[in-house]
Structure 1
């Protein structure tokens, strides 16, 4: 879009001005002498051919360049959106390598653009000057034979044609911008003109007056357009009666979520029908349909706004009272009330300020506030702890009364009350019935239920348990170590409890004020770290190391090219002298013939020097742009998590900076800088010539040039300030990326118009600031473009006075005047690039702030590199997020994991469980206390070394565009195929891989979009296991898996964690009951600690969670 804006902005005006000048010049020339004008007009077809060939070559190379740059942009977007995953696996350099590879592809074509621009631009001037010399010769002939009355007429015709064509030739850099805009516009228009198969804006279709809620799938077949070879649904038949609840279960990737997508018309079946109350959903108005059907998705999507506004997206007419009501139903009201500004708290990009469970509860509330007739719950409670899940599930069950409900859940305790449960396999239903019927059947569903059952209640077998423990103490050292750890964990918990402080809260308004003050201090610190938002041109050139030889040679050729105007001034003076003092005869014709050779020689010199300088500066500009992009991108990937938590550093804004600022910097080293070098050489040479011939004219002209320079410096400062303010307030780019990232959610919420208006509003704000800046740039342009005419006026006035006083002869004075006039032409030609140089300076400042910023976690490679064994100690750890400094997450947290043990962290959503893992990965550092690994403060260890010894499987698995092999091996080099296959087999991924045509070389698409949630999770698990880590971090590692896959993967994880320390977080408690130590965290402290048996005997908080999830058969 930036390229299009440039193409239809001032560059288009300059282009039109060039053509207007050419037409006006032709008209003037024809008025004075049509024969000479007709002869010189012969240059026009040649010029048109040059321009046409230039446009053709530029278009083809620009398309190829943009393909590479576009792929690089996608890599940057994916990497920054999933920056924690990239960092956790030390994948920064791999992503930088991919990014640079794509940019290199585009760079090669950009250099070719420089060659073609120089080649055809130089050829244009060769033809122009050749015709100019020929025109002088023909004009002399017409003067000799008496057809033209005076030499002045010859000069008027020739100079008119010269100036018109000359200005047309100087617009070649603007032509490049226009052609770039044309190619970019073609890409944009493909999107604009594309007619979607399912149009969310369509007003057509039926709107049923009374929705009963009967849903029916009739012989439905479906496969994704991007994976035609894999059939997802294979004749699905399912009926959901009005007011009933139906649960869909089955293996990951079997088509459960696909069915929901067909009902909401995200896709359409290739065969069969999906109906509501007997009407095919394809016949219904799509906006009405999606308002009738409410959905809570597996991966909750929130937007960078307040909680209040996120809820309003669900129902724009909702009152605060209604919001509170549905938030209480979703068990979200209490945690919202504890936030600094309650419902008006800004939650950051993607809801980054909330935990996974908190995001899911807000998403549930957003759906409930819509009051849909048909409710779709796709893993709606997967990110919730058992306590929250119980409350929310009860609320959802109440909300489901009187409406049709379709549920998808891998945690079977949430669906046991469903009226009907259907088991999917290979796109069809193989079992159906309620919970008791399917358990009695003893089939596939029964196998899933058994996989999620807990151990027997210890109350019934208390004596047996005690005896077994005693036996284990005598015979099994591993069990003894486990119990010792559990006891030590309990002791640590008790010690921690003895340190508890009582905290009396004040009113939220006071807390919010204090929070705002603390946040303002944090913002000031960030701004101080970012430094000034300015940079000098020398700073830019310093970053061109390795390109200085190209810059030197390019400058030499540019200076040679810049001698064109002084050479023309001398030749014109020589021609003027020939017309004035040489008799109209043979001697005059001979001098004109010599002038033809002189003009042609200048043309050849211009052609050669322009080709050389264009290519050399194209190499420099592309290398410099690539270096700025790569350095900025690299340093962004190494920043700590608090950097990205800052709204000013939202990934959307950073992606915009990479996409726009680096190309803007090229202005100081590409064809635009060439024009300035040409102009500087011409100005200096012309001033010297003017002083040689007529110092009076030279002093006046130099004074005018200096006056113009002072005016331009003042305008530059003003434009620079406006650029900085505009960039700080730019929200349009961030909003656009947020919309594109979450377009499916926006469509399902039927809020396309809302987000479009939001984007339009931000764009209009940007437009207003652009118009203000445009006024200043217009003043600058008008002054510089009128400068030549003021120069002509004043220099001719002084020249006439000098001739009148007899101080100089007319031919000598004319040489001084023509020199200053052509110097003014050089000023006029270069000054039009002035705003772009100011923009380049501002862009460089922004990128320097990124490039030179040091992360809080320090250099990745610095620090000790001891052998990691896996002993972990949280010692009185305190922590608050930088964005919420007065809201402590950890308040003296204390727990221990011994080498080789598995420690499970449980507790309510938002209690800080994932923060524990984030601190082990050093996404953040503690604000109090010490986090130790093998007795050493984690901050003293090399961060790179630490992360090579760890592996993380996150709650929301992040995959990147590329093959499954590339995703599994992220951050690793030369991994044997056998090791990859073993990790995939351990992760239970080999089953679905066998059905993919390309196997592990299958492209997963952007963000893993070609795989289901469960498939993505298994690839993420394989990515962790292939590293053979000493410490394994599992944050809801199996949350997206069906029970059977979970059991297989859990068995694999049980085997994989042998001999290594494993920290696991799970809301599905059946997956952690075999842990050596279970730590219950709430309100920033350990509330309970022990193994499963011990905690069940205590009958405390953990016991209550277990009872809520137990599937007794």
Structure 2
């Protein structure tokens, strides 16, 4: 009862604390320092000043109306009229010049401050992620952490950079305009200002509802991002099983949910923008009606005062229309920030950044497990350890053996303090492990895992990760390198490292993907022993090594284990025969323990395991054993030199051409208009919606010339008196009300349809970018810029950029563009002399400046996106390898690397931002220059009788509204730039056809009956390493129904052969034939449909066990596979008993990357998936390496039986030679060639490489 309550206490999830949108937005600014606050304070002052400048224009306008009215009434002579007009024009110019510098100041400083604040938030978010206990990641949240750090950060930046300055400027204009109006005529202003609270109320309600919906959308998109990350990280499995369509359907379920939520915003946006413009135009009508009434009654003496109030209301209302679209960006920023703050606020139960706890200077290293019980949080009803007690003496080697899932790896996790026991205690040197400082504890312990994880970077950097936190971390580079090399020599990795292109400085790719499994394992071992740890944990440390390397490394591990507390988990019992104590486990309990000899004498479970692995080997004489691989290579070198030269010449240009084709930088980009047109054409289902949207945009743009005409007519009313003034004034006030009602319909439809367009395009391109990425060749994923983190980041941020442009932004851009053109035309029509001068003097510089900004921002965005992709890769790599990161205690180191990449991106952007904001400031303020010109020149034309006053007003106000719309238009330049770059990448990826694909020629050509396999003169180099030859002329014939094994040292080409047989790559010379057809003559999907692959590191996807196993069938049948067939496959893979023991059975969730299962359990499910396929060609790449002896024997029997059924060809890569001793042909690979081949007995008789491998694995029973 006590244990049960403790279990509930540990596993109960803390309720998530909801963070309001406003609170989330305000909290963003808490992540600035005094430097950012200073920049923001200066920027705010500049924005406020710029806003005041916009309001002061109304004062000049009022004086202008008074001047023109007096002139029309004959109260001013022409010369004085022209003189006063020149003076007022100068005021326009001065206000514009001041606003230019103020706008440049706030836009630049807000952008710089935003970069730094987002950097701090991203850093804190990743730190919070790395600080969480491992149980947190078991829920499958690792992918969403990496993705949200980038995508949510970008959304936050969109809400606190120059757009924040525009809003502050708008609010300043709003307030100062009303202050000016109140000072001029308080009573009229009091009546007119009712539009402000009405707009704020409508905006506040809409923003609140939108924030609630957006938060839900972001959660779903985070789940979609995590799923996409699991897809991109398993490209081999996707292609091998043809899972693209299946996984895309699962991915689309997230997108459909997101789209449904997003579509709920359609009426919301319609209401928001419809009420905004309706209130503005109705307010104009109210102001005009009341102003005319007050003039006629004598409450207001001068028409200029009325116009100051009216223009102040106009400017205030215009500033509010400018603010409203940016509210959407603020809501998104607030929702995105709230999502990040949820994790930042989550208190970790086991926090590696917590500095509390003891750090003893001396550590003996003995461990005691006392009555420990434990169940994983995701399966609280299944006890993994059950009242477990074990003493592990210091300086001794304790080996743990037993079936998969018996609790062996869990013990390692408990020592690492990845988890705390539900009951019982774990003590180190007599003290509970909870009392020690967590980072210190993990630095005393070093772990080599069953599936080693290396990080992107050089070999030396990976090994040096083992020195983090030790006194040797800050050694001089020369001494540190010597220490690294010494560890590599001990791990027998030094020789192959020195043969790499750049030795220890060779970059090994994401997760060490450019190394073979055995090479990765040896680097991981070197990393673990380089710090000379007190406690060494070896979880299947030599499982990926070939027999020769295993023997050498095991000898090395035995050597470094002396004097250290060593816990080793092994399925290869030869590796633990010399352990001081061997503990046999079953179901979380100890079955028996003792030395190798004692347990053999006991003749129990251990003895049965030993007998199952014994290999027969004849005694060899030293002189009969072949030379070492190195010696063989030396002998072959001279003969191969000329061949290699010819080979390099033939393949280099082809490989370079392939690499160039896969490089986005080499693609000719489309411009903005071409991009938008292609986006529209790509969604024919939206043709009707686009038509409606374009029509309402034209109708909305018509309101601006309409305003110019109505306001000009209204100004002319002041020349009348009495009832004539009131009659005409009331009519034009009513016209504004009519314009407001028409705008309600227009903008409601515009808001609704633009959101439908945005959501449809967002859904389409989120799905398309994942689909087009999945269809690419393996060489695409091998490129350094295409890491899992970078691809996941693009899959989220690029469709989001297109979504932001093609939503209400594109509608406003179209309205603004049409408004600029229509107002310019109207100006020229009513006063061609004035109109031409203003339009030609003002619009070209503004358009050129805006274009220059877009071009400069596009160049910067392309460069910055690359740098942010690199930071995203670091975050993705770290959280997906959280166990490795935590075991090495390198959280701080990872955080520093991540921060350095962010800082590099910020530093790179500094200079471009300084230049980019110049045209931005120019486009925002240049209108005042041509207003000054228009005012001065127009007054001259009026004074000389060349232009009527009404036409002057129409022309002048048309240009005024044209300038406003132009500045609004280029306010979206950042959105245009990001969307153009993103869309170009999407278009490039769509057009990028994989080299290995189905074509018109091969569409219906498959392998037929799948007879013999024939490899002729096969040569291969990986595209990213064209000068490193992996296969050097393979000739091999495999007959129907044969079981063929590939063995040999790590890195000799065995797994590459599996890749060639799966047609992940095509050979650069030679070919592979199935019967008379070469692989490149067949449809790759028809071919792969008859092939099944089990990899050394199995991949499972988020979902149930049933879903993962059923992926072995053709895509369109996966959901219809009968349970009986799945059960049969699971029984054959010896995993059915385990599945049946789970409360949810086949419906048990596997977690991200199968984290809810042990390595052996994952492997057996992967084998079941392959057997369910019933393939003609079964490829086993170390298929049983993760299995315990008993499971291995049962599964191997099943695989042998599967291999012997019918005419199936089975090809197995194996280091554990007991699994392939019954193969029809065993091929021994050496240096990219087949050195010898034959049956087990034949090869033993030859006395060359193979017998030595067998001898290394023989067990004395």
Indicate the TM-score class for this superposition, using the shorter chain for normalisation. over 0.9
CA–CA distance in 1 between the matches of 2:1094 and 2:402? 22
* Aligned residues of 1:518 and 1:885 also touching (Cα < 8 A): no
Q: 1:863 to 1:774 in 2, by over 3 A?
A: farther
Partner of 1:722: 860
Greater Cα shift, 992-1001 or 626-635:
626-635
Q: Is the 8 A contact 2:651 2:1068 kept in 1?
A: no
From 704, 707, 719, the counterpart of 2:845:
707
Alignment of 1:830-869 (within 5 A): 830-859=969-998, 862=1003, 864-869=1005-1010
- 2:162 aligned with 1:16: no
Counterpart in the other structure of 1:115: 267
Q: 1:415 aligns with which of 576, 580, 603?
A: 576
Distance 2:542 2:175 in 1: 72
1:213 and 1:276 in contact (8 A); partners too? yes
How is 1:759-798 mapped onto 2 (pairs within 5 angstroms)? 759-798=898-937
CA distance in 2, matches of 1:219, 1:79: 41
Tell me if 1:527 matches 2:663: yes
- Equivalent residue for 2:706? 567
1:104: Cα distance to partner? Answer: 2.0
Take 1:935 and 1:502, find their aligned partners in 2: how far apart are those partners?
35
Distance in structure 2 (CA, Å) of the matches to 1:501 and 1:749: 41
Contact 1:220-1:237 within 8 A present in 2 as well = yes
Partner Cα separation in structure 2 for residue 525 and residue 39 of structure 1: 66
Give the alignment partner of residue 825 of structure 1, picking from 964, 967, 976.
964
The SS at the match of 2:718 is helix
Deviation (angstroms), 1:115: 3.2
The answer to whether the 8 A contact 1:686-1:820 is kept is: yes
Query: How far does residue 528 in structure 1 lie from its aligned partner after superposition?
Result: 8.2
Aligned position for 1:1086:
1234
Mark the CA change 1:1074 to 1:895 in structure 2 (over 3 Å): closer, same or farther: same
Deviates more, 1:227-236 or 1:80-89: 227-236
Secondary structure of the residue aligned to 2:785 is: helix
For 1:238 and 1:607, the matched residues in 2 are separated by: 77
The answer on whether the counterparts of 2:1160 and 2:1187 sit within 8 Å (CA) in structure 1 is yes
| Counterpart Cα distance in 2 of 1:894 and 1:1073 | 22
Per the alignment, in what secondary structure is the counterpart of residue 453 of structure 2? coil
How do 1:918-933 residues align onto structure 2 when only pairs under 5 Å count?
Answer: 918-933=1059-1074
Q: Is the 8 A contact 2:215 2:339 kept in 1?
A: no
SS of match in other structure, 1:862: coil
Is residue 2:600 matched to residue 1:439?
yes
The answer to whether 1:1022 aligns with 2:1168 is yes
Q: 1:430 aligns with which of 591, 596, 611?
A: 591
Is contact 1:519-1:884 (8 Å) kept?
Answer: no
1:198 aligned onto 2:198: no
- Cα displacement (A) at 1:525: 5.2
Name the count of aligned residue pairs: 1072
Q: Distance in 1 between matches of 2:772 and 2:195?
A: 52
Offset of residue 23 of structure 1: 0.6
Distance apart, 1:96 and its partner CA: 1.5
Give deviations 1:863-911, integer Å, cap 9, x for gaps: 6224142421221211111122222111111222211111011000111
Task: State the 1:573 CA deviation.
Answer: 1.5
Q: Is the aligned partner of 1:391 residue 2:529?
A: no
Q: 2:946 aligns with which of 780, 786, 807?
A: 807
CA deviation profile, 1:265-317 (whole Å, cap 9, x unmatched): 11111111111101111100111111111111111111110101111111134
Secondary structure of 2:320 counterpart? helix
Q: Give, in whole Å, the separation in 2 of the partners of 1:290 and 1:199.
A: 12
The alignment partner of 1:895 has SS state of strand
Using a 3 Å threshold, how does the CA distance of structure 1 residues 1104 and 891 change in structure 2: closer, same or farther? same
From 274, 287, 291, the equivalent of 2:426 is 274
User: 1-side partners of 2:1258 and 2:1184: how far apart?
Assistant: 18
Partner in structure 2 of residue 264 of structure 1? 416
- CA offsets 1:970-1001 (integer angstroms, 9 cap, x no match): 25312222111111111111111112221111
Give runs of aligned pairs for residues 189-228 of structure 1, distance below 5 A.
Answer: 189-228=341-380
1:962 to 1103, 1110, 1116: 1103
Deviations 1:695-751 (A, max 9, x none): 222112211112211222233222222222333444212222112211221121111
Residue matched to 1:42:
194
Tell me the equivalent position of 2:612. 451
Helix, strand or coil for the counterpart of 2:388?
Answer: strand
1:4-153 matches, cutoff 5 A: 4-153=156-305
Match of 1:365 among 526, 532, 536: 526
Q: What are the superposed Cα offsets for residues 380-430 of structure 1, whole Å, 9 maximum, x if unpaired?
A: 011001110000000000000011100001111111110101111111112
Show the 5 A alignment for 1:899-910: 899-910=1040-1051
Native 8 Å contact 1:341 1:512 kept in 2: no
Report how far residue 1067 of structure 1 moved: 1.0
- Correspondences of 1:355-754 after superposition (within 5 Å): 355-454=516-615, 456-457=616-617, 502=638, 523-524=659-660, 526-527=662-663, 531-534=667-670, 536-537=674-675, 538-580=677-719, 582-583=720-721, 585-703=722-840, 704-730=842-868, 731-754=870-893
Please name the residue that 1:489 is paired with.
Answer: none
Matches of 1:440 and 1:605, distance apart in 2? 96
Which segments of 5 or more consecutive residues in structure 2 lack a partner in the other structure? 1-152, 468-472, 621-631
- 2:541 & 2:902 partners in 1: Cα distance? 35
Q: Is 2:1219 the partner of 1:1067? A: no
Q: 2:398 aligns with which of 235, 242, 246?
A: 246
Q: Tell me the CA shift for residue 505 of structure 1.
A: 8.6
Task: Give the Å deviation of 1:501.
Answer: 6.2
Assess if the C-alpha contact under 8 Å between 1:274 and 1:280 holds in 2.
Answer: yes
| Secondary structure in 2 matching 1:234 | strand
Q: Distance in 2 between matches of 1:517 and 1:438?
A: 61
Residues 554 and 172 (structure 1), Cα distance of their counterparts in 2 relative to 1, 3 Å cut: same
Which runs of structure 2 are paired with 1:862-877 in the superposition (5 Å)? 862=1003, 864-877=1005-1018
| CA shift digits 1:465-487 (9 cap, x unpaired) | xxxxxxxxxxxxxxxxxxxxxxx
Please list every run of 5 or more consecutive structure 1 residues that lacks an aligned counterpart in the other structure. Answer: 461-495
Secondary structure of the residue aligned to 1:171 is helix
**Partner of 1:328 in structure 2?**
489
Structure 1 stretch displaced more, 913-922 or 600-609: 600-609
- What is residue 167 of structure 1 aligned with on the other side? 319
1:979 matched to 2:1128: no
Query: Is the CA contact (8 Å cut-off) linking 2:617 and 2:1255 kept in structure 1?
Result: no
Give the TM-score normalised by structure 1: 0.93
Please say if residues 850 and 920 of structure 2, whose CA atoms lie closer than 8 Å, have aligned partners that are also in contact.
no
For the 8 Å contact 1:561–1:605, the answer to whether it is kept is: no
Contact 1:874–1:932 (CA under 8 A) maintained in structure 2? yes
The answer to whether the aligner puts 1:1037 opposite 2:1208 as a matched pair is no
Say whether the 8 Å CA contact 1:530–1:850 is kept in structure 2: no
Report the counterpart of residue 46 of structure 2 in structure 1: none
After superposition, the Cα gap between the structure-2 partners of 1:110 and 1:313, relative to the gap in structure 1 and judged at 3 Å, is same
Distance 2:1179 2:666 in 1: 33
| Residue number in structure 2 paired with 1:490 | none
* 504 and 934 in structure 1: CA distance in 2 versus 1, 3 angstrom threshold: closer
Secondary structure of 1:566's counterpart equals helix
Question: Counterpart of 2:371 in 1: which secondary structure?
Answer: strand
Alpha-carbon distance in 1 for matches of 2:651, 2:498: 14
SS at match of 2:300: coil
Determine the C-alpha separation between the residues in 2 that align with 1:940 and 1:631: 28
